Structure 1
């Protein structure tokens, strides 16, 4: 290896790590399609309500488009977790608004969920189990190995969870006063405007922190290696004792 080869290999390894991180984040948070599925029902609700001030038509349209998004996912045999979460979120909003008769209450369940999620990110980080690590650990095939075996990665997950928690708290600090002071259309348009930018900022910060962190420990590969080593050990013992490697003759 020449003096020029090593930097090239290091750069390639860094690029590969970043590509893996990007792919994992894309899978975990749904990518562009997931963002569209998150925004579209609420956008349709506030658009129709702004035009005709009819709660029932606005709610039915929002729920219908959410169901259509799930059907499309099922039709193309794609993962439906993001679309299903959208349906449940819209359904809760519709039921709540219909029950109270206040169109603004369509947004309240989602706002409360955002507040709860923000607190979850912060509390789990303070307890040493940052939520973003629990979410992304299985995606990176590291499960919880980052907690005890990869301190640099745990630190990155903690930073990312703080970022998510504080960004979502800032979003709540804008939305909850508007829930009390603004009308339904004003609240709806602000909420739609705040759907994507805070999310993209949090994802970008997560990518920055993880791109600089140590590589994940693939615990699945370790388990496979251990199983293979155990099989080889048994085969070696069987060979020494003159028995078939399977240990038993099949009937």
Structure 2
């Protein structure tokens, strides 16, 4: 999941590291020993991931407004910003996974807006991704299989163990609803702005409703999940006893 709201930059970089972003400490992170902090830490990518994901969209908005709402300079500004971030990370020998995914997202959004000729379409892919993520997460909760539980379970090496503990099932469901609320809130505010063609207001709303809201949901999820895992851990499975041979 994932995942800040700069879907135009990543599509929705909602989706990579909370420990660094919230200054939390973790354990080894090995299967079976990953702490909740580290698991949630992969949600937004820390401060570096937040900046990398937000900068191209910010450049697009600023250039669009400064140039008197000229689309192509804004499009190229966003693409160049994404490319410069990728080069900087490459020179510093840092992970390019998020940067490359973000650059591809920026390039696609820029191409799409240039094809339609509408600046607001730069943000349309991000809105559609919010619909997809929000819908998938909501459905997973409604059917009793919150996706966040499986994500954390996979990271700990026990994909379904949490389902044996009612407290953990409730915690993962609540945590997943936190993210549903983020995606739904973005859509409620940003879709009317998109339909009105209010590019300045839309871009500003995406920045303020992007990683800050995502980080808040991740933090609340961390608190809820940590408490459940601490107070109601997954019980060890009893080893199967082989029948004695005659």
**TM-score, reference length from structure 1:** 0.72
Structure with greater helix percent: 1
Determine the structure 2 residue equivalent to 1:122: 138
Q: Which of 74, 82, 86 is the aligned partner of 2:102?
A: 86
Determine the structure 2 residue equivalent to 1:33: 48
Q: CA deviation at 1:29?
A: 2.4
State the distance in 1 between where 2:89 and 2:158 align: 28
Q: Which of 42, 49, 71 is the aligned partner of 2:57?
A: 42
SS at match of 1:41: helix
Determine the structure 1 residue equivalent to 2:200: 185
Determine the structure 1 residue equivalent to 2:8: none
Q: CA deviation at 1:217?
A: 5.6
RMSD, matched Cα: 2.7
Superposed CA deviations along residues 190-215 of structure 1, whole A, max 9, x for unmatched, are 22121122112211111121121125
**Structure 2 residue 39 is matched with structure 1 residue 24:** yes
Q: Which of 159, 163, 166 is the aligned partner of 2:178?
A: 163
State the distance in 2 between where 1:66 and 1:131 align: 30
Asked if structure 2 preserves the Cα contact closer than 8 Å seen for 1:171 and 1:194, the reply is yes
Which structure ranks higher in relative contact order (CA pairs < 8 Å, sequence separation ≥ 6)? 2
Q: CA deviation at 1:76?
A: 4.0
Unmatched segments (≥5 aa) in structure 1: 1-14, 227-251
State the distance in 2 between where 1:29 and 1:129 align: 23
Q: Which of 155, 159, 172 is the aligned partner of 1:143?
A: 159
Describe the shift of the 1:211–1:174 C-alpha distance in structure 2 as closer, same or farther (beyond 3 A). Answer: same
